Structure 1
């Protein structure tokens, strides 16, 4: 089920299933994490100001960073992605004896290995790790929800190595205007796809929502500004013991909704001020990747 307005760029998508989902498996419950409530702004260390949440293939670490913090990422087998918003502080990426200053919004990709972030101001920093990194996976506040893999979600198989080899890459949002026919500002890595949706002034028109489903992947909707109502409907299967009432969950920012397949879902901004969502997927979406011009760093990160 996909209900898009004719002027919604997603109305032109062709569904691509990475692997046949287990249609007999139970449908997982959606998860809602109020990051602001869980954060400890008075904690002395960055670890005490970090909330870790996971999905099937990705771990999200949200840190209320302060100037002078040294965020140790550990030694990673896969790439690290850092989501930098308008409210994030400047920081320096230290990796392989190199230093890379980041002082504007965008997406940073850090190659595998040992790295750390030296923070130069106060504000939120969001890091994305693969769930194959046990030191991060096991810190998740919702780890129990993934004690067993979710059979309806395609497991991550990394996409091809980046062109030009492994390196720190920074994709700036500045200079990337909204473009008719393109949905948001989309970047991908070998393991993740991040879509910076444009800020919205005021509530979303309730007559122009976009309920839709995904066959075999989760969607992580990270609210970085404003307030959203996440509307989620679980389809009825033969086993009525798994049926759920429709959900209409209101979350402020920062917050995260983990939306499982094949639930019907749409999110509506309701704050009178600025509202903004960032959507995260793992593995990268094949349908978005198939649209020419949608993935802004496709030349660096080729599709399979």
Structure 2
């Protein structure tokens, strides 16, 4: 359910899509409140907090001037967010070196890589859950000791055109009528750096909706958000869940499970900045032409039609 001014209101559901069987079990939402807990990793001039979903995880870092974030033998691509304009970075991966301005999204290739922040600042890395060492560090690792119900497992999309390398994109992308957010994708992730919201969200234009078989990661970088969640009723009262209206500050990650109905409301008088994360990439968003780097990352052929 979307307000007519929301670009998502124009996405038509496929009439030919088969109806999924009604869920018989539900998972709750997971919350990584990075502002309340101790970091899981401290070293190399950085503090890092980690929380996961079924197919993705977020590593949120505060980095001292000259501090670095290193990965060795990374199995697949990952995403770096530099949300502040005055936070440049030096990115090194597999013999390649790239200087990146602040307020950028960077896709790093598999293998060995390092991120150095000469001025320090905050940095967000988003990974798939294909790395057991990172999964084990997550604040909610026990929540995923068994796979959550209703979530389709990750099948990576095709390799990028021209092969794996460092790919940097400015987030300084002005809003365009009919386009939703600022969406980028790689082989395992889709990241929507939503247009900034200044002041509380209009409560007459919320967007309650649900996803059948994928989680949504809602990463709050600035401000505060109330995440409203409601689970469907089934014939089995034992699996019913109470509604949640979770107020979270920044930085934090909320993992919203399918098929919970959800909408998020910015609360602060200043900047409320949210980033949505999906793994694997969303087919419906890709088909809308909203992905800003789609020319570099092909869709699977069986999904492109």
Task: Report TM bin, short chain.
Answer: over 0.9
**Residue in 2 that maps onto 1:252:** 249
**Residue in 1 that maps onto 2:303:** none
1:23 Cα deviation after fit: 3.3
For the structure 1 residues 23 and 147, does the alpha-carbon distance in structure 2 shift closer, same or farther, using more than 3 Å as the test?
Answer: farther
Q: Residue 45 of structure 2 contacts residue 67 of structure 2 at CA under 8 Å; is this kept in 1?
A: no
Which range moved further: 72-81 or 190-199? 72-81
The superposition leaves residues 214-235 of structure 1 with CA deviations (integer Å, 9 ceiling, x where unpaired) of 1111000011111110000011
Q: Residue 90 of structure 1 contacts residue 120 of structure 1 at CA under 8 Å; is this kept in 2?
A: yes
1:303 matches 2:299: yes
* Residue among 173, 189, 194 paired with 1:192: 189
For the structure 1 residues 269 and 47, does the alpha-carbon distance in structure 2 shift closer, same or farther, using more than 3 Å as the test?
Answer: same
For the structure 1 residues 62 and 15, does the alpha-carbon distance in structure 2 shift closer, same or farther, using more than 3 Å as the test?
Answer: farther
For the structure 1 residues 246 and 186, does the alpha-carbon distance in structure 2 shift closer, same or farther, using more than 3 Å as the test?
Answer: same
1:181 Cα deviation after fit: 0.6
1:91 matches 2:84: no
1:21 Cα deviation after fit: 5.6
* Residue among 148, 151, 155 paired with 1:150: 148
1:263 matches 2:255: no
1:204 Cα deviation after fit: 0.6
Distance of 1:193 and 1:222 partners within structure 2: 13
TM-score, normalised to structure 1's length? 0.93
TM-score, normalised to structure 2's length? 0.92
**Residue in 2 that maps onto 1:56:** 54
Q: Residue 21 of structure 1 contacts residue 153 of structure 1 at CA under 8 Å; is this kept in 2?
A: no
Q: Residue 55 of structure 1 contacts residue 218 of structure 1 at CA under 8 Å; is this kept in 2?
A: yes
For the structure 1 residues 19 and 87, does the alpha-carbon distance in structure 2 shift closer, same or farther, using more than 3 Å as the test?
Answer: farther
* Structure 1 counterpart SS, 2:87: coil
1:34 Cα deviation after fit: 1.1
1:18 Cα deviation after fit: 9.8
Distance of 2:76 and 2:29 partners within structure 1: 27
For the structure 1 residues 263 and 44, does the alpha-carbon distance in structure 2 shift closer, same or farther, using more than 3 Å as the test?
Answer: closer
1:208 matches 2:201: no
Distance of 1:88 and 1:34 partners within structure 2: 25
1:199 Cα deviation after fit: 1.1
Distance of 2:68 and 2:17 partners within structure 1: 38
Q: Residue 32 of structure 2 contacts residue 139 of structure 2 at CA under 8 Å; is this kept in 1?
A: no
For the structure 1 residues 68 and 209, does the alpha-carbon distance in structure 2 shift closer, same or farther, using more than 3 Å as the test?
Answer: same
Distance of 2:45 and 2:258 partners within structure 1: 32
1:50 Cα deviation after fit: 0.7
The superposition leaves residues 41-91 of structure 1 with CA deviations (integer Å, 9 ceiling, x where unpaired) of 9x9625871111111111211111111212111211111211221267222
Distance of 1:88 and 1:269 partners within structure 2: 24
Distance of 2:205 and 2:8 partners within structure 1: 14
**Residue in 2 that maps onto 1:26:** 25
Q: Residue 223 of structure 1 contacts residue 276 of structure 1 at CA under 8 Å; is this kept in 2?
A: yes
Q: Which residues in structure 2 correspond to 1:223-262 (within 5 Å)?
A: 223-262=220-259
Matched positions, count: 299
Distance of 1:88 and 1:73 partners within structure 2: 24
Which range moved further: 4-13 or 91-100? 91-100
Which range moved further: 180-189 or 93-102? 93-102
Distance of 2:18 and 2:225 partners within structure 1: 31
